[in-house]
A and B are shown apart, each in its own frame.
Chain A
Amino acid sequence: MSTAVRLSSTRRFFAIFLLSALLVAGVGSYYASTHPDGLNFVAHRAGFGDEAKASPTSDSPFAGYSTKGIGNQRLSGGVAGVAGCLLVLGIAGGLFRVLRRREPGSANAGAGPAHGPPTTSGL
């Protein structure tokens, strides 16, 4: 296993993973379908779509995945996507940092069998 693990350093893997998320949100999302999603589509077809109320946060700077004050659609959506990613990363990353087991360099860092197979912590 150790050879496979060393092929790519953890730090580099994380950087690539983050970069791909930012690229999808910041660049790729411009090319996303603008059709209503399944729920909205069904809601309008079935006749309850008009029950939807505008979100109380619809005047937030990134409402609707576009950035207030940026006219260029591509840039506006890209900035909102990247901002959203960073917000999620900050909140989730911070939460998981607090929740994690801290292992002071002990023998079983990582997925040690001391915590049982994934089966025991499953739902």
Chain B
Amino acid sequence: MSTLLKVENVTIQFGGLVALNDVSFSIEKGSVLAVIGPNGAGKSTLFNVVTGVYKPTSGRVTFDGTEITGRPSYEVVERGIARTFQSSRLFSDLSVLDNVIIGMHTRTRTGVLTALFRPGVARREMDECVRKAESLLKLGSGDLFEQRYRPAGTLAQADRRRLEIARALASQPKLLLLDEPSVGMDETETDALVSDIIRLRKENPDLSVILIEHDMRVVDAFPQHVMCIDYGSRIAEGDYATVRADPRVQEAYLGKAAVHA
């Protein structure tokens, strides 16, 4: 198997604050990496560096054989990295369906001239988008398809997370970055989320997923490759059992005193 994403010695500073300190890791095609760590450890910052929201102070990000360090977000998405946000960022005044269609932006071509002078071409492309979006909405758990004409802002929390994932998948990514997908879900919904991800991988064996998670229930479901970050540094990496047993990880989560007690 080949390496899909490679992050090498990435450091990012905001003024005096070192948000990420010399972080390196890589992910293979078709695998899942779970990133854990306490709040404020730099997990979301890592996503922002990979997707081009932040430009790292130093270090390199290589995706699918091309260096993408500091490339603009729209180019990164075009290359095949899609993400969801920790605090779900849906287009709340647009319908569920429109949210997913917007996710296909990089896979559609209609420009101003086509839209104005070749409306037939533009409409066919849009019809195709609608069809694909509807099938994406039918795919996941929950009943997003039935709610497709609701404004996204009125969805329940679990549905918002599901819609974020559907929107991210709409761009046909090679790498999917999920930022705490289980936030606001109860146990049943979390289990449904886990089986959604498992099914997704079965259907697209080449799809790689990086998960930021606090819910160990989810991490436990993808135990092969886990990385722990604390204070911007990678402190442990390996399978779930190894990382969980690592004293530094326990320290990061429970505090020094608790571990040595």
Asked if chains A and B come from one complex, the reply is no
B residues contacting A by CB (< 8 A) are none
A residues contacting B by CB (< 8 A) are none
